[in-house]
Each structure stands twice: as structure tokens, then as C-alpha cells.
Copies of this chain bind each other. A is one copy, B any other.
Amino acid sequence: MRTIILLTLGLSALAGARAQTPHRCKSPPYLEGKLTVMYPEEKTMIFEQMYYDAFEQRIRVIAAEKDPNQTQYIDRLMLFREMIYYEISYQNQSCVKRPLGLDFTPIEIPHDAQHTAQIVLGTLSAPGQGVLVNTWVGSMPEAHANYSMTVTEFGCIPITFLYHVEKFGYIIASYYDIVVGIENPEVFVPPPFCADAKLEEQSDGRVADFFTALL
């Protein structure tokens, strides 16, 4: 019987831990770090260096997108308050400036998310050997998407965000090497050769919603 209880306790971990209901949280306003974004159904993987400023609503993403046929490099500065984004090529010293048709979405647990699990990655048996994280699930009806967000219990640092979007399938974003703060605030300033870039009237549709902003 004891084993059956253990089994029940053990296996309900992903559905359980409701009794503790940790608080929904918001990540620190300044973050930089790395991110892999997987689109398993398209066999595409994106490796990103990400800079995040929730105060001034700016995100810089420098990415390599690998699909089975090619690797594509993208350097994108999104200025949500100005509602524009730049695609920057240092190699060509060129810059494309386009309208940004979406609102800034901070890294946070939405107010209507449901807490679904609290787990330890690694162990808490000794210091430095593990980290306590919470997983929250919910849906974004306007985007026809469901999500599962895992963030650290202390600090609300993103770990893994999993989305199931009607039109894309699964998207798995795994964060790592996160540093709280911005080492070089100039990452949010368009480089000098962008000064002459004219705003293209048409968006190319690439940064049309929250999911394409992630890339």
C-alpha cells in the first residue's frame, strides 16, 4: 500500500503540487542570455542570443536558424514603443527598417495561468546542485495557442516555455545562461549605418505576432 501511495504521489507530480500555489511572477526587467527555439514538426532549430529590456520595451535577438537544408543568420532589434524593428547586417553594413505590428509581451506568468507543478531540476540535497522551478499552463485564445511556462521559484527566471499554436504546432523555447542586467546597453541602439534606413511601409509578415517575434 505504501508503494501505491508513493506511486500516486510520484506520478501526480506533473499534475500536482496545487496545494502550494506559488505566486504568478514577472521576470526581472533586464535580462540577457541564450535561447534555443525548436519547431519539432518543421525540424527547425534556432539558436539565439537575446537581450531583453522590459522598461523601455526593447528586444534584440541575434539568431542562427537551422533547418535541414540551410542556416540563416538574423540580427533583429525590436523597438516596441516606436513600433518598428530593424534587421541589421554588419557584414553588408546595411539595415532594413520595418513596422512592428504587435504589442510588447513581457516575460511573465499570465494572470489567468494555472499552476501545475513545482519540481527541482537536480537536487536540493546540497547547495549549487539544483534549482526549484514552477510550471504554469494556460491558453492564449486570441493566438489560438496553449502554453506551458517553467520559471525559477526564486527570481522568476525563464527556463522552458512550450507553446502549442494552431498554425505552427509545437514551439519549445529553452532559456539558459541568463544574466540579470544588460552588460552593454548599446545593443538596443541601432548602429550608425541604420540612420539612413527608410521605413518600409509593408511589414514582410515575419514579425507579425508574438511567436514570430521569438523567431
Contact = CB atoms under 8 A, between A and B. Distances in A.
Contacts of A180: 123, 125-126
A191 B1 CA distance: 11
The 5 closest A-B pairs by CB, nearest first: A10-B49, A129-B155, A125-B180, A123-B178, A119-B176
Contact of A155 (B6, B88, B126): B126
B7 A125 contact: no
A33 interface: yes
Contacts of A33: 123
**Copy number in this complex?**
2
Contact of A90 (B4, B49, B75, B132): B4
B90 A155 contact: no
A173 B73 CA distance: 31
A121 interface: yes
Interface in A67-95: 73, 75, 88, 90-91
A23 B33 CA distance: 25
Contacts of A130: 131, 152, 157, 178
Interface in A83-111: 88, 90-91
Interface string A20-48: 00000000000001101000100000011
